[in-house]
Amino acid sequence: MPGVVSISAEIQAFLDHCRIEKGLSANTLDAYGADLARFAKGFPAGFPGPEEVAAYLASLSAHLKARSVARHLTALRTFAAFLLREGKLASDPTALLAPPRQWRNLPKFLSHNEIERLLAAPDPESPAGLRDRAMLELLYASGLRASELCDQIGRAS
């Protein structure tokens, strides 16, 4: 990357872009930040070529699950696209890389009886019980993740 002081500064600019312009979640930003920090340790001078990126991902495959390696590749691809738009890269070194093969797991779900018991658990006579029942109903009806609900509650406080 010509004219780049450090890859760390470019990563920070990329994460700022993702937070402000793309509106990515805090969890995604944390994951991208951790993945790119790990990448930067191996390549502090700048973004390497396709062969080095492929070798880096192969080294990750030795001790990470395929899903984690795929997330690293996504972070690298998004970062490379950002650097291309900013004029910091002449070509995308991640363009020809294939994601690792992943097994598809079916989601786990509760039975109808388990859902009924879960929704009946909070005490409807107490304010906390009413709140808990409302949160459970919201989670069940909307498909929100528990972390997304907690994030919204934290913002409202």
User: Is 76 within 8 Å of 53 (Cβ atoms)?
Assistant: yes
pLDDT tens readout for residues 10-24:
999 999 999 999 998
d(CA 28, CA 130): 32
User: Is 43 within 8 Å of 26 (Cβ atoms)?
Assistant: no
pTM: predicted TM-score of the whole model, two decimal places: 0.62
pLDDT tens readout for residues 20-53:
999 989 999 999 999 999 999 988 888 888 999 9
User: Look-up: residue for tokens 């690293």?
Assistant: 72
User: Is 47 within 8 Å of 112 (Cβ atoms)?
Assistant: no
Mean pLDDT, range 88-92, rounded to an integer: 90
93 pLDDT more than 70: yes
